[in-house]
Amino acid sequence: MPEPINISASRGASILGVNQWKTPVESWLEICESRRPGFAAENGYKLPEPPDNAAIRWGKAFEDSICELAQSEQNKDIILREKLYKKGEFLTCHIDGMFCKIGGNSTDKDYLHEGKTTTIFSYREKWGEPGTDRIPREYMIQVQHQMMCTGKDRAVVSVLVFPNSTEDWEKIGHTIIKDADGYLINNEKISNFMWCKDWAHTLSQMGYFHQYEIAENKELQDLMIEKYTEFWQNNVLKETPPEITDYEDIKLLCPEPSGTIVVNEQVEKWAAEYKDITKEIGTGGDLSKRKKQLKVLILDYCRQYDNKFDTILDDDSLEKFIIRDRSGKKLFQYNGKVMR
């Protein structure tokens, strides 16, 4: 049986609510399921799907190439690739590697390496000047987490910037292929392929490879430990979901709703505000954010109500929530995917 997963460096930003790709609820579900297989099914939850998108595929394909560029830039070797470190009851991390002198072994003077890929659009928005510590928040959390686990006080983050989006490249026929000698980019439409390492070196020569210096931040690390401990004790050990702030979390925690729910005055107010906003806006702006927040508040109320009380089942609500106000008027319905 595999060892249960804990709070890893990649989950740290998620648990702290600063990861745009994963919510605290998703990390909580993954951790609880690994600690007690069958946990999700027992509670009627749906496990998050393993992520698979162009950014992940291209990022994986360029990992070795980024290490090669990083070694050349620092005039160091990178060792201990993907080594697992553990700290305390619940902290773990796999590192991208550790810089050390060429031909040397690990010493106290070694420092961490973390490699990333991004697009030019995201780079301009989220990254600062090379050589500084201005990196995206989720990556700062990840690196500080690795420092806590390894005991290192310095890291270099390397980033290879793609001048176009990976989704657009795949749309025009570029695909990632892995063979025994490494990763290639292939385009069957024009009968052309190129090694990822050659692409990486070309991009580096064009000025699309940068490095950032990250120092240990004890104040931030102490805050991270405090939040991690709260999450572990209050959510993981008690098997209680963290605060829900995203509509996708509702779909995971309530994938098969049923019953007619008569809501209270507060939910009626949320529903009225939701409908007013719907009349006024399209899909963008602050009002759109408020609309999504109201949807989460309404459905989370229904989810928790369904867990605590016997809901009313009729022919119309066997496979969905029917949400009514106190006078019996139908406000919304939710089938596990869509609220309307």
pLDDT, the chain, mean: 90
Out of 173-182, 200-209, 277-286, 330-339, the most confident range is 200-209
The answer to whether the beta carbons of residues 13 and 137 sit under 8 Å apart is yes
The confidence score (pLDDT) of residue 1 equals 45
- Look-up of token digits 């060429």: 102
The confidence score (pLDDT) of residue 134 equals 97
- Look-up of token digits 């869509």: 338
Q: Tell me the two tokens of residue 143.
A: 């690196």
- Look-up of token digits 């099914």: 41
- The whole-angstrom separation of Cα 33 and Cα 21 is 20
Higher pLDDT, 269 or 284: 269
Sequence ranges of the domains in the chain: 54-77+97-215, 247-334
- Local confidence band at 190 (pLDDT 50, 70, 90 cut-offs): low
Q: What is the pTM of this model?
A: 0.87
Give φ, ψ of 156 to 5 degrees: -115, 125
What pLDDT digit, counting tens, does each position of 51-87 carry? 889 999 999 999 999 999 999 999 999 999 999 999 9
- CB-based contacts of 217: which residues, under 8 Å, 6+ apart? 144
The confidence score (pLDDT) of residue 107 equals 72
Q: DSSP of 168-194, one letter per residue? A: HHHHTTEEEEEETTEEEEEETTTTEEE
Nearest to residue 99, comparing CAs of 9, 222, 214, 10? 214
- The whole-angstrom separation of Cα 129 and Cα 229 is 34
The confidence score (pLDDT) of residue 258 equals 86
Say if residue 195's pLDDT is above 50.
yes
Kindly state the average pLDDT of the residues 307-329.
Answer: 75
The confidence score (pLDDT) of residue 316 equals 73
- The whole-angstrom separation of Cα 149 and Cα 8 is 10
Kindly state the average pLDDT of the residues 32-55.
Answer: 92
The answer to whether the Cα torsion of 289, 290, 291, 295 is positive or negative is: positive
Percent of the chain with pLDDT over 70: 93
Say if residue 139's pLDDT is above 70.
yes
User: What residues form DSSP beta bridges with 187?
Assistant: 174, 192
Say if residue 2's pLDDT is above 60.
no
Nearest to residue 51, comparing CAs of 15, 21, 17, 93? 21
Kindly state the average pLDDT of the residues 252-274.
Answer: 90
The least confident of 40-44, 195-199, 316-320 is 316-320
The answer to whether the beta carbons of residues 260 and 313 sit under 8 Å apart is yes
Higher pLDDT, 281 or 41: 41
Say if residue 307's pLDDT is above 70.
no
- CB-based contacts of 208: which residues, under 8 Å, 6+ apart? 120, 160, 161, 162, 163
Q: Which value, in Å, is the radius of gyration of the alpha carbons in the chain? A: 24
- The whole-angstrom separation of Cα 225 and Cα 206 is 40
